[in-house]
């Protein structure tokens, strides 16, 4: 397949933000644009969205709370459901 160059103009800030996202997805700009173009042709239209799983504020707080609890030696842990039920008086 013959290769060609594609030159586009975009805002510097948008390009930098996109590069950060692509990098987090393990892609570079060229690969990301090629994925977009090939999928556009295959699906005959704007085909998809790639997004990072960024939790909302509530979920991020719950994750942080879980991490704190997991490493807090003062928090009692249980190794089985039976042990937990016993501790709860069930």
**Per-residue DSSP letters for 6-35?**
------HHHHHHHHHHHHHTT--HHHHHHH
Question: By percentage, how much of the chain surpasses pLDDT 90?
Answer: 74
| 76 or 34, greater pLDDT | 34
Residue 31 contacts by C-beta under 8 Å, 6 or more apart in sequence?
22
Helix (H) or strand (E) holding 41: helix 29-43
pLDDT of residue 50 exceeding 80: no
pLDDT at 1 (0 to 100): 84
pLDDT score recorded for residue 77: 84
């Amino acid at each position: 397949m013959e290769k060609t160059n594609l030159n586009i103009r975009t805002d510097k800030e948008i390009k930098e933000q996109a590069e950060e996202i692509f990098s987090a997805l393990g892609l570079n700009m060229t690969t990301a644009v090629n994925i977009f173009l090939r999928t556009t042709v295959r699906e005959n239209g704007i085909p998809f969205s790639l997004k990072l799983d960024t939790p909302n504020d509530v979920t991020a707080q719950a994750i942080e709370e879980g991490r704190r609890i997991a490493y807090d030696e003062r928090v009692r842990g249980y190794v089985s459901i039976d042990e937990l039920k016993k501790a709860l008086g069930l």
